[in-house]
Amino acid sequence: MRPRCRIALLGFGHVGFAVAYRLATPDAVPGLELTHIFDRRATLKRHAHGELRVTWTHSIEEVLRADIDIVVEVLGGMEPATQWIEAALAAGKSVVTANKQVIAREGLRLQRLAARQGRQLRFEAAVGGAMPIVRAIVDGLAGDRITAIAAILNGTTNAVLSRIETSGCTLEQALDEARSSGYAEADPSADLDGDDARAKLAILCGLAFGVAVDPEHIEGRSCASITSADFERAREQGGTIRQIARASYEHRSRVLTASVTPAVVSSSTIFARASGPANAAIITGEHSGDTGMFGAGAGGDATAVAIVSDLVAIARDRAAVVPAPQLTSDFTLHTSDFVPRTSNFDFVEAV
Amino acid sequence: MRPRCRIALLGFGHVGFAVAYRLATPDAVPGLELTHIFDRRATLKRHAHGELRVTWTHSIEEVLRADIDIVVEVLGGMEPATQWIEAALAAGKSVVTANKQVIAREGLRLQRLAARQGRQLRFEAAVGGAMPIVRAIVDGLAGDRITAIAAILNGTTNAVLSRIETSGCTLEQALDEARSSGYAEADPSADLDGDDARAKLAILCGLAFGVAVDPEHIEGRSCASITSADFERAREQGGTIRQIARASYEHRSRVLTASVTPAVVSSSTIFARASGPANAAIITGEHSGDTGMFGAGAGGDATAVAIVSDLVAIARDRAAVVPAPQLTSDFTLHTSDFVPRTSNFDFVEAV
């Protein structure tokens, strides 16, 4: 019997809660043992969740000193998450994170640190929720050369847009519903404006094309002013509106074209069919053509599936080699010719 | 610089040809080197493909004795493929195979041998063509408990059925077209009758549910007698006809329900939208709900992508732990209540 992987959880919000209860249930995942939960309000939460047999702490130093194999980071935001992931890797722990902002901006540096340490940094949960798009690109389609990605990467915005589509309500009403379903933050601007999707798209550009692109350099247009009248016009064109993250890469000339915008998508696409907090993606390869995927893109349970999958991978092979990607900054970023200026929305071809 | 993985290819048919040229092109895959090709007609093929700088041989012993890291088996059929995969593993080589019949029937034994040898047996190409469904189940959704799978797993049959749907032609005419496009064998019965899809479904049942099911025990009904009149009736029901492989598993009572049959699928499903040699799948998990995928399901190029992806994985981490699954034979196989006897076809709900 191999010893179980001892796990510390940093953060006990929506996702942390789901991960903790997945690991603590009677038919919990074999090989995994949750031993520590860090939370700023550890004392309060310990009382509310007495059934979780773990050490609660509000000291990150206690976690870093503890006999822990894997640190799960679900704090969100750049700091202190980046610093603590770095400290965990430096302390010889593997790290699983759902943090797209950290991976988009500091992922390469942290992956190199993990590789030097002989540890693993995994982040399936950072993009696509339960839809395993990171593995699809890094492993499943590793044998192809990927040339384009089109995707719905923000579950909150998709829940809002698909709600306006079916009910004709206002964006504000749709947001209220998404908030009460637990899919939207009090301040939804990072979702609607595309900051969240741009960070995720930047991660995918690194994985698929080997380019290091700053999320803020990716063209973005907000979905915040979409109204039911826009949906009416889209319907007349045979489609509907979704927030679409797109990138294509011309390997020879090293030209990256990338954007996150509201787009009119044909009713026959998987994008139009993605409703509620779903995510969807089409990955185009030189040899395989289009490979598509869709799945639950938001919510604690879906994100927890991706995190637990990463934990299972580490428990299965603690010495697995997860090489840091070789990313180039020597490329040109295009946006303008990709998004036609003549129309407010873009038409994504049927798949 | 790590030394390149030396690769021997067993079989130089459709898929072997595609793999060989992927590995031999000027921008070939870094880290991989094709050194040997075994083919019964090696002498003939050496002349026709002089540009491939490899050792051609019709002696399997020569391959097994050679300084090779990975053997790629694309011979098809049970024997000698099974015996040679076993010999390659015994000789300390890792193996990548596209052989669904061998994996469905002897996979567990061969995976155990690979694990004992500290080598890898990978078979992404055995199911789903370029659609990375093996990795989605084994890695991406490892953090969930999968309860059901519904899928199109035979590209040939899908090409034939979708051709009848769009053209109103006979099955024989559609088959002729599929043959001339390289998607159908001279004898298509293994495809149309579902033997191919049942082997693939048996593999997925092992990966997803941990059950060892004999493909021949899976209920099958042939697509060989489908006519355009059947499509007419399906259209009246709001759908079309596809060959659907389905399995669900009741983990508590250990009841497996599995079948491969022609089915009426609603027009709104990804199954109805899969045309030509496409594959598609919906994997249902307790925590993630439905995760879907689709992609190129047949053809040398698509299969080669899956094979090269497996080669890249081995080259990246030659010591990777790929544990043999723990499969149980202690389950009940149901078929009858799953396929309603009252109708000739079954309706798959919209996704």
Tens-digit pLDDT string for chain B (351 aa): 567 899 999 999 999 999 999 998 766 888 999 999 999 999 999 999 999 999 999 999 999 999 999 999 999 999 999 999 999 999 999 999 999 999 999 999 999 999 999 999 999 999 999 999 999 999 999 999 999 999 999 999 999 999 999 999 999 999 999 999 888 888 899 999 999 999 999 999 999 999 999 999 999 999 999 999 999 999 998 999 999 999 999 999 999 999 999 999 999 899 999 999 999 999 999 999 999 999 999 889 999 999 999 999 999 999 898 888 889 999 999 874 444 433 444 555 433
**Under a CB-based contact definition with an 8 Å cutoff, are residues A299 and A129 in contact?**
yes
CATH top-level class of B5-122:
alpha beta
**Under a CB-based contact definition with an 8 Å cutoff, are residues A259 and B260 in contact?**
no
The residues, ordered by sequence, that sit 6+ positions from A25 with a Cβ below 8 Å of its Cβ are none
**ipTM entry:** 0.94
Interface probe for A, chosen from B15, B127, B139 (most Cβ of A below 10 Å), is B139
Task: Work out the minimum CA distance from A286 to partner chain B, whole angstroms.
Answer: 9
Q: What angle do CA A295, A299, A305 make, to 5 degrees?
A: 65
* Rounded Cα distance, B111 and B116, in Å: 9
Interface probe for B, chosen from A240, A305, A312, A317 (most Cβ of B below 10 Å), is A305
- A316, closest residue in chain B (CA to CA): B321
Helices (H) and strands (E) in chain A, counts: 13, 14
- Residues on chain A touching B129 (C-beta within 8 angstroms): 288
Identify the pLDDT of residue A350: 37
Q: Is there a common fold for B5-122 and B133-297+329-348?
A: no
Does the pLDDT at position A295 exceed 60?
Answer: yes
Q: Tell me, what DSSP letter sits at residue A211?
A: B
Domain boundaries, chain B: 5-122, 133-297+329-348
Q: Looking at the partner chain, which of B132, B140, B305 has a beta carbon nearest the beta carbon of A309?
A: B140
Residue A344 pLDDT grade (very low, low, confident, very high; cuts 50, 70, 90): very low
Identify the pLDDT of residue A46: 94
- Residues on chain A touching B285 (C-beta within 8 angstroms): 130, 305
- Residue whose entry in the numeric block shows the structure tokens 């060892």: B212
- A275, closest residue in chain B (CA to CA): B351
Identify the pLDDT of residue B86: 98
Task: Work out the minimum CA distance from B162 to partner chain A, whole angstroms.
Answer: 15
**Under a CB-based contact definition with an 8 Å cutoff, are residues A117 and A228 in contact?**
no
β-bridge pairing B70-73 and B5-10: parallel
DSSP lists the bridge partners of residue B250 as B255
Residue A144 pLDDT grade (very low, low, confident, very high; cuts 50, 70, 90): very high
Identify the pLDDT of residue A1: 53
Task: Work out the minimum CA distance from B73 to partner chain A, whole angstroms.
Answer: 17
* Rounded Cα distance, B240 and B263, in Å: 8
Q: Tell me, what DSSP letter sits at residue B328?
A: B
**CA-atom Rg of chain A in angstroms:** 20
C-alpha distances (whole Å) from A288 to each of A145, B140, B197, B301 are 9, 20, 20, 7
Count of alpha carbons within 13 angstroms of residue B292, beta-carbon side: 22
CA A148 to chain centre: 18
- Residues on chain B touching A294 (C-beta within 8 angstroms): 291-293
Identify the pLDDT of residue A168: 95
Identify the pLDDT of residue A49: 94
Q: Tell me, what DSSP letter sits at residue A325?
A: P
* Rounded Cα distance, A305 and B50, in Å: 49
β-bridge pairing B255-266 and B239-250: antiparallel
Does the pLDDT at position A340 exceed 60?
Answer: no
- Residues on chain A touching B321 (C-beta within 8 angstroms): 316-317, 319-320
Identify the pLDDT of residue B1: 53
CA B125 to chain centre: 5
- B139, closest residue in chain A (CA to CA): A309
pTM: 0.95
Does the pLDDT at position A343 exceed 70?
Answer: no
pLDDT tens by residue, A252-293:
999 999 999 999 999 889 999 999 999 999 999 999 999 999
Tokens of A275: 């409703």
3-state SS, residue B113: helix
Identify the pLDDT of residue A93: 98
Identify the pLDDT of residue B153: 98
DSSP lists the bridge partners of residue B278 as B296
pLDDT tens by residue, A154-211:
999 999 999 999 999 999 999 999 999 888 888 899 999 999 999 999 999 999 999 9
C-alpha distances (whole Å) from B194 to each of B67, B175, B213 are 39, 15, 15
Interface probe for A, chosen from B2, B279, B287, B290 (most Cβ of A below 10 Å), is B287
Identify the pLDDT of residue B345: 46
User: Residue B140's closest CA among A293, A261, A111, A203?
Assistant: A293
Does the pLDDT at position A335 exceed 80?
Answer: no
Active-site positions of B read 200
Pick the CATH number of B133-297+329-348 from 3.60.10.10, 1.10.520.10, 3.30.360.10, 3.40.50.300: 3.30.360.10
- Residues on chain B touching A144 (C-beta within 8 angstroms): 130, 305, 308-309
The mean of the pLDDT values for chain A is: 92
* Rounded Cα distance, A64 and A68, in Å: 8
**Contact across the interface for A312 and B142, Cβ inside 8 Å:** yes
Identify the pLDDT of residue A322: 86
Residue A30 pLDDT grade (very low, low, confident, very high; cuts 50, 70, 90): confident
Identify the pLDDT of residue A338: 47
Residue A348 pLDDT grade (very low, low, confident, very high; cuts 50, 70, 90): low
- Residue B49 φ then ψ, to 5°: -130, 50
CA B47 to chain centre: 31
Does the pLDDT at position A332 exceed 50?
Answer: yes
Q: What angle do CA A45, A49, A53 make, to 5 degrees?
A: 110
Identify the pLDDT of residue B346: 52
